């Protein structure tokens, strides 16, 4: 999909209209709290946070509410509309750069780009992340409420993503959490390596 497809009507339908939003405020708070609890459990100090594909900016806003002492918050989006309206840096995932972050969130981005750009995007996420990546991506293996969801984009297999993420240096911690090999204080149980 072209970045221009993510316009006012898209964000209204999937994010700002409470009747059709894919994430409620309660769910948003809980999701951020869950990810931050994981980071805290493993002793990851979050000095820099990056939201890649920030959209309406809800993740970064809720992160800042729950972690007000972290002042280094970066938001990126390929959509000219979202970048302009919400103040993100306008950049696509396959061109992501900047300084490494302790926590990187990439929610609902990779399925909207082709395979080559998704691979490059994962490589860029690996360069960007020095701690934990929270990756939310719909795959063809997921059970989905299709009428309530945006079904456009490319639905790849979970195996495709796991292969690419592992090759890029991430360890799967479950529930969308991937730990960079750069973060040495993470030890998983052998069963998680299956």
Task: Kindly state whether residue 190 falls inside one of the protein's structural domains.
Answer: no
In the chain, the percentage of residues whose pLDDT exceeds 90 is 72
Q: What pLDDT is attached to residue 172?
A: 93
At residue 148 the predicted structure's pLDDT band, cuts being 50, 70 and 90, is: low
Task: Kindly state whether residue 192 falls inside one of the protein's structural domains.
Answer: no
Task: Kindly state whether residue 75 falls inside one of the protein's structural domains.
Answer: yes
Torsions phi, psi for 82 (to 5 deg): -65, -40
- What is the token pair recorded at 58? 């809800």
Q: Whole-angstrom Cα distance, residue 193 to residue 179?
A: 12
Mean pLDDT for 6-35 is: 81
Least confident of 44-58, 98-112, 180-194: 180-194
At residue 22 the predicted structure's pLDDT band, cuts being 50, 70 and 90, is: confident
At residue 146 the predicted structure's pLDDT band, cuts being 50, 70 and 90, is: low
| Contact residues for 138 (Cβ-Cβ < 8 A; gap 6+) | 108, 111, 144, 149, 153, 155
CATH of the domain at 48: 3.40.50.150
Task: Kindly state whether residue 189 falls inside one of the protein's structural domains.
Answer: no
Task: Kindly state whether residue 188 falls inside one of the protein's structural domains.
Answer: no
- Could you tell me which of 57, 49, 60 has the C-alpha nearest to residue 104? 49
In the chain, the number of structural domains is: 1
> Does 86 have pLDDT greater than 80?
yes
Helix (H, G, I), strand (E, B) or coil at 168: coil
SS3 for 146-161 is HHHCCCCCCCCCHHHH
Reported as half-sphere exposure (CB side, CA atoms, 13 A), residue 96 has a value of 34
At residue 23 the predicted structure's pLDDT band, cuts being 50, 70 and 90, is: confident
Q: What pLDDT is attached to residue 14?
A: 67
At residue 17 the predicted structure's pLDDT band, cuts being 50, 70 and 90, is: confident
The string of pLDDT tens digits covering residues 96-120 is: 999 999 999 999 899 999 999 999 9
Host domain of residue 23: 3-183
Cα distance between the two ends of the chain: 34
Task: Kindly state whether residue 121 falls inside one of the protein's structural domains.
Answer: yes
Cβ count within 10 A of residue 19: 5
Task: Kindly state whether residue 193 falls inside one of the protein's structural domains.
Answer: no
| Average pLDDT over the chain, rounded to an integer | 89
- Could you tell me which of 62, 64, 63, 86 has the C-alpha nearest to residue 76? 86
At residue 18 the predicted structure's pLDDT band, cuts being 50, 70 and 90, is: confident
Task: Kindly state whether residue 95 falls inside one of the protein's structural domains.
Answer: yes
At residue 147 the predicted structure's pLDDT band, cuts being 50, 70 and 90, is: low
pTM of the model: 0.91
């Amino acid at each position: 999909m072209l970045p221009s497809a993510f316009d006012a009507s898209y964000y209204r339908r999937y994010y700002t209209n409470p009747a059709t939003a894919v994430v409620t405020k309660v769910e948003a708070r809980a999701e951020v709290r869950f990810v931050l609890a994981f980071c805290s459990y493993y002793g990851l100090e979050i000095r820099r946070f990056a939201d890649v594909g920030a959209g309406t900016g809800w993740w970064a806003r809720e992160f800042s509410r729950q972690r007000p002492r972290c002042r280094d918050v970066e938001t990126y989006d390929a959509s000219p509309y979202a970048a302009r309206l919400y103040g993100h840096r306008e950049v696509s995932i396959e061109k992501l750069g900047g300084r490494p972050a302790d926590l990187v969130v990439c929610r609902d981005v990779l399925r909207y780009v082709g395979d080559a750009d998704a691979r490059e995007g994962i490589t860029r996420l690996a360069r960007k992340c020095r701690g934990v990546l929270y990756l939310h991506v719909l795959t063809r293996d997921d059970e989905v409420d299709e009428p309530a969801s945006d079904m456009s984009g490319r639905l790849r297999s979970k195996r495709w993503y796991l292969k690419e993420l592992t090759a890029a240096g991430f360890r799967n911690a479950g529930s969308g959490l991937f730990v960079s090999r750069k973060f040495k204080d993470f030890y998983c149980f052998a069963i998680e390596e299956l």
